[in-house]
Amino acid sequence: MAQKETGCYQYGKTRTRDGQHLKFSCPCKKVDEVRAFFQDNVCSVEIPVTHRTNVTHGGYGAYSRYEITQHKYAGGNNEGGGGFIEVLEIENPPEGRCGAVLHENCVNSYQPFALTHYFCEWKTVKDAKNAYNKNWSLKDGPNKFKGLKGFIRRVDCGLLRPWFYAIGNEELIGDYAFPEGLQDDPVFRFGRQFVVFDSEDMPEIKICMGTRFIFQGKDPHTGEEKTFRLVYWNDGSVWDERENRNIPRPAEEGELWIAEAIQQFKQILAGNNTTLTINFLNGEKFVGRLIQSKEKRHFHAAEGDYFLKVKFKDEKKPHQGWMNNFIPTPEQPHIISRLMAEAKARGKKVEKAEVLERKTKKGSKKWTGVFFSRRS
């Protein structure tokens, strides 16, 4: 189609109906007309980009600037909803990043902005495939991945995209690709720390990754455009301005130690630690430690393997041997309780038991914790 020539152009800025920020050029004196057209008629604009990998997910795909091979794929999820799970091999990962991942993307049809996903890193693609084959269809599959061969770690992404689906010149920040379409906000600015409250009103310090404004429509009475914020945090979670009664606020320098103390105490309650250290601003420290009662100090509760010496009732000679893969649970909070439960199942009664040696696992549970972890 022939285009009408013009000798004068003018530059302008606008947003689409969905809040996408755009810069444009047009004939002089038509800036307002073009701006109004985008705001009233265009939801979003995508610029075609070449030299990108399209990884197919069922009937649609996702782009990446990395060379990716999809080895496994299945649609749907364990709750009967949408989404997919896949095993990917990133052939050219940046330095310090893992090239073998299992990625699951789940869709909650009841909350359209509750798209959430995670990925697990593995030592080899073979390990990721084995995890996919054994556990992906289980209801609690993601939590069972941790105990499998080759597992490195799990990363929850929330509404953020994982780093391996970065495109163009997007920056990698932590485990995520800096999302396209994030906008300026006078309060929620990228890199700023905020006090954010969870569903139980527990505060936590999080770093803002950016904000997206979602267009809801115009007020039928006033004609005013209505929008709401989605604020993205560094842990992959999202604050929805419509639903949360506790508005995140900027963290003050003098209260950062409070958030650190709360996080340490949460780790103790979860059974992942038994000590905490709080550094006060005046240089003093508070040190706390979980201790057992005197009569139960020999009841070891840390996750791991134990070499035991056991004397059963009606038997003269004690037995010795390893009891492996112990994980504390509410029913069996320490190794002795597990020993007694297994003995009872075999019709025996423990008269005396002693731990001669133990091999605890680094980074594992130190005790059952107040809130029982489903992974056990």
Each residue's pLDDT tens digit, 132-166: 887 666 555 556 787 788 999 888 887 678 899 88
Residues of the chain with pLDDT under 70: 1-7, 18-19, 46-61, 76-82, 107-116, 135-143, 159, 179-184, 200, 244, 253-260, 269-272, 280-282, 290-299, 363-376
Task: Report the distance separating Cα 279 and Cα 222, nearest Å.
Answer: 53
Instruction: To the nearest 10°, report the CA torsion of 58, 60, 63, 68.
Output: 20
The amino acid present at 5, given as its one-letter code, is E
Q: Residues in the chain, how many?
A: 376
Task: Report the distance separating Cα 191 and Cα 182, nearest Å.
Answer: 13
Amino acid 298: pLDDT? 55
Quickly tell me which residue has 């002693």 as its tokens: 354
Contact present, 352 and 295 (Cβ < 8 Å): no
Amino acid 130: pLDDT? 92
Amino acid 195: pLDDT? 85
What is the pTM (predicted TM-score) of this model? 0.44
Residue 275: other Cβ atoms inside 10 A:
12
